[in-house]
Amino acid sequence: MLDTLKLPERHYLNNGHGFKSWLLTKDHKRIAIMYLISISVMFLLGGLFAAGVRVELLTPQGDLFLADTYNKFFTMHGVVMVFFFLIPSTPAVLGNFLIPPMIGAKDLAFPRINLLSLYIFWLGAAFFFYALFAGGVDTGWTFYTPFSSFSSNTNVIPTALGAFISGFSSILTGLNFLVTIHRMRAPGLTWFRLPLFVWAHYATSLIQVLGTPVVAITIIMVAVERMFGFGIFDPTRGGDPVLFQHLFWFYSHPAVYIMILPAMGVISEVISTFSRKTIFGYSFVAFSSLAIAVFGFIVWAHHLFVAGISTYSAMVFSFLSFSVAIPSAVKVFNWTATLYKGAISFETPMLYVYGFFGLFLIGGLTGLFLATLGVDIHVHDTYFVVAHFHYIMVGGAIMGYLGGLHFWWPKMTGRMYSEFLSRISAILVFVGFNLTFFPQFILGYMGMPRRYHAYPDEFQVLNVMSSAGAGVLGIGYLLPVIYFLWSLKKGEVAGPNPWGASGMEWQMPSPPPTENFTEQPIVHGEPYEYTPHVAREANLV
């Protein structure tokens, strides 16, 4: 069957050649590809910093780098991964590419603003690279005051401005998605016929638009205090250092949901496709995304349980923090129930989904320890927290992102990658990830604090396990670079719908033409419709 497939003659990749045709494009798909390349570079850079950190921690003594160098490594690892990789990852690449076709549109509502958001992202990254080459920054990605406002003598302002500027890229992308989802749905595509990927991005966009301005203001306040000596956070000038933490986490806690919600959207699409079955409890999965986005805004002070907030407010925020756990649990249960009586196959995207399951479960459940006051006091700011958020932000978000990339790669490029190598990669990522981060839970409960350049001897065994795991994880992440690049020239031609998926994006040719659809699609049925009729049409029988 497959050898009869040919790439379409005309598609978005060959519609115009040369740098100019890319840099001036208004095509959401080309912008997505440019984001893909940009954030892959940033991911590689962030990974190198992480490698430095893990190599240093092989021995208890701080013997590889100077303390200042180590501090810069973990800071730049965090800044790059959070602001320049995770926040744009799934939305800017997969969301950008897929939201218009998923709703039957030719492009986003504001194609020029979409390109602008990419340029703003690059500008923000340029500020970061300036800071990097000027000697780096050592505040931690959290920029806590008053350390960042008067104590650190590194490039705080350029780095902070980099995060500030790239924030606008995130705001504009979110705004674009919101308007697009409201205004550009195909005839017949009601809200409850939207793919759950679109729902997840709708919820994400709300956070991007409502939350990002707060961190932008906060960053400006740090810069103003540092440059002009205004007393905002510095207590010797009448400021309040803890105020910074409230403002910072008001955005940065919801920012975790900017990273994980789109990944959850990917999971819903992939799990339905590879089970050939509609999502169990569609409306519960859709509304749980909104619930996570809303509740995410009222839990920030659990980052401040040991920062001298009152006993009463700590209890209120502990209570509220549990509220986020429930919609997350509801999603997991519904996904599991979707598998029941499915017709399940295990190509690479589905392996990533299973990996996501394992890692997100651990990540989510360990969040309960941190919401529980009595336990949080002990594990706060230890490696327990490091392990927890890596399980969510790497285990959850990146597994989802990679699963999505493997799922839609044939749509984006028209070609298949090596199934064998990609399965190996999915397994290596899963095993390597657990080996890296599971020991850190134990380290944390043992009391090892975060951001330690040197540590007492008794923590060494677990640190060596963690560093060894990071090596495996690194290979797992590098493999896709190889087989994805290979597939561009040599990969089998995929055809429009290699997985037999039901989504509207699979009705386009692969790769799709610039205008996505030659005729305006009209939606008649429900999403995730896998009926014998559909199966015949998709040429699967």
Stretch 46-105 residues interacting with other proteins (CB under 8 A): 62, 67-68, 71
**Residue placing its CB nearer to other proteins in the complex, 121 or 391:** 391
- Which position among 73, 121, 128, 144 is part of the footprint of other proteins (CB under 8 A)? 144
The β-bridge partners of 493 are 415
**Residue placing its CB nearer to other proteins in the complex, 213 or 447:** 447
* Residue 50: Cβ within 10 Å count: 23
- Interatomic CA distance for residues 166 and 158, integer angstroms: 12
- Which position among 91, 104, 124, 146 is part of the footprint of other proteins (CB under 8 A)? 146
Q: Looking only at residues 148 through 167 of this chain, which bind other proteins when binding is defined by CB under 8 A?
A: 151-152
377 counts as binding other proteins under rule CB under 8 A: yes
Q: With contacts defined by CB under 8 A, how many residues of the chain interact with other proteins?
A: 95
24 counts as binding other proteins under rule CB under 8 A: no
Q: Looking only at residues 477 through 516 of this chain, which bind other proteins when binding is defined by CB under 8 A?
A: none
**Residue placing its CB nearer to other proteins in the complex, 319 or 420:** 319
* Residue 399: Cβ within 10 Å count: 28
252 counts as binding other proteins under rule CB under 8 A: no
CA distances from 517 to 33, 92, 107, 114, 514 (A): 19, 21, 10, 20, 8
- Interatomic CA distance for residues 461 and 443, integer angstroms: 10
**Residue placing its CB nearer to other proteins in the complex, 273 or 418:** 273
Q: Looking only at residues 199 through 238 of this chain, which bind other proteins when binding is defined by CB under 8 A?
A: 235-236, 238
The stretch near other proteins (CB under 8 A) out of 88-96, 186-194, 368-376, 489-497 is 368-376
Give min distance, CB of 284 to other proteins, in A. 5
Largest CA distance in the chain: 74
454 counts as binding other proteins under rule CB under 8 A: yes
Task: Kindly give, in sequence order, each residue whose CB lies less than 8 Å from that of residue 338, ignoring residues fewer than 6 positions away.
Answer: 271, 272, 275, 277, 278, 279, 280
462 counts as binding other proteins under rule CB under 8 A: yes
Q: What are the DSSP calls for 197-266, one per residue?
A: HHHHHHHHHHHHHHHHHHHHHHHHHHHHHHHH---SS-GGGT--HHHHHHHHHHHHHHHHHHHHHHHHHH
Q: Residue 306 in contact with residue 449, Cβ under 8 Å?
A: no
Q: Looking only at residues 320 through 339 of this chain, which bind other proteins when binding is defined by CB under 8 A?
A: 322, 325-326, 329-330, 332-334, 336-337, 339
147 counts as binding other proteins under rule CB under 8 A: yes
- Which position among 451, 468, 471, 493 is part of the footprint of other proteins (CB under 8 A)? 451
Smallest Cα–Cα separation from 102: which of 250, 269, 298, 259? Answer: 269
Q: Residue 529 in contact with residue 26, Cβ under 8 Å?
A: no
**Residue placing its CB nearer to other proteins in the complex, 15 or 69:** 69
Smallest Cα–Cα separation from 83: which of 162, 187, 178, 195? Answer: 162
- Which position among 58, 278, 468, 523 is part of the footprint of other proteins (CB under 8 A)? 278
Q: Looking only at residues 281 through 320 of this chain, which bind other proteins when binding is defined by CB under 8 A?
A: 281-284, 306-308, 311, 314-315, 318-319
- Interatomic CA distance for residues 350 and 355, integer angstroms: 8
Give min distance, CB of 83 to other proteins, in A. 18
Q: Looking only at residues 426 through 445 of this chain, which bind other proteins when binding is defined by CB under 8 A?
A: 442, 445
Q: Residue 141 in contact with residue 248, Cβ under 8 Å?
A: no
The stretch near other proteins (CB under 8 A) out of 19-27, 115-123, 209-217, 363-371 is 363-371
